[in-house]
Amino acid sequence: MKHLALHLSLGAALAAGIAVPAAAQTFEGPYVGAQAGWSQNKLGPVDTDLGTARIGDKRDSATAGIFVGYNIQPAAGVVLSAEGAVNFGFDDGLARSQKDASAAINPEYGFDLGLRAGYLVTGKTLVYARGGYENVRTAVRILDLEGPRRGKDNLDGWSVGGGVERAVTDRVSARVEYRYSDLGGGGTKWDRHQVLAGIAWHF
């Protein structure tokens, strides 16, 4: 009986020893995923190719997109990632009408390129910070003393944030992330806050 208990204990210890590295391997190599969540755009004056759109308002909306990335583990427990994504907003346009002018900004889609740096607090749970480049494609409409104008413009910016990612299986992980983006510069004021939930498939 003692031998049986010893064998079972050794077997359990061996299984546990194998399980942690296997889970940790989830966060190494390429991955693709999808994400969705809440987004808030807060706009002041926005300098565009058509002129300055003076909005002075904010709006909450839904957002969704896809992402692709690559994880490496340069040291035990440390995960570094390069990631790119394309995101779409839903019902997120902003407009303002004044006595002698009006303007509207409608963010159509955006993409970002970023880096993540994280630490495996357990074999299955990654806590990370992130930052990178953001670009948003917008539809612009302006009416002022120069007359009505419509067109498209791209606005560049940067983002910072962080989140938690958990391995559900050796191939699948789920994550929750907060992100702040500054799409301003020059005379433009555009702040964006997002809370995103995502799921990823690891190769």
**Strand extents, DSSP E, the chain:** 29-48, 51-75, 78-90, 94-97, 102-120, 125-144, 147-167, 172-182, 190-202
Structure tokens at 102: 């009006």
Tell me the pLDDT tens digit for each residue of 93-143: 999 998 788 999 999 999 999 999 999 999 899 999 999 999 999 999 999
What pLDDT was estimated at residue 21?
A: 46
| More confident call, 22 vs 81 | 81
203: number of Cβ within 10 Å: 8
What pLDDT was estimated at residue 11?
A: 46
3-state secondary structure of 185: strand
Tell me the pLDDT tens digit for each residue of 13-24: 434 443 444 456
pLDDT band of residue 25 (cuts 50, 70, 90) is confident
What pLDDT was estimated at residue 153?
A: 94
* Single pTM value for the model: 0.85
Tell me the domain boundaries of the chain. Answer: 2-202
pLDDT > 70 fraction of the chain, expressed in percent and rounded: 88
- What CATH code would you report for 2-202? 2.40.160.20
Averaged pLDDT of the chain: 89
Beta carbons of 53 and 103 less than 8 angstroms apart: yes
Tell me the pLDDT tens digit for each residue of 163-179: 999 999 999 999 999 99
pLDDT exceeds cutoff 50 at 6: no
pLDDT exceeds cutoff 50 at 12: no
C-alpha 108 chain-centroid distance = 16
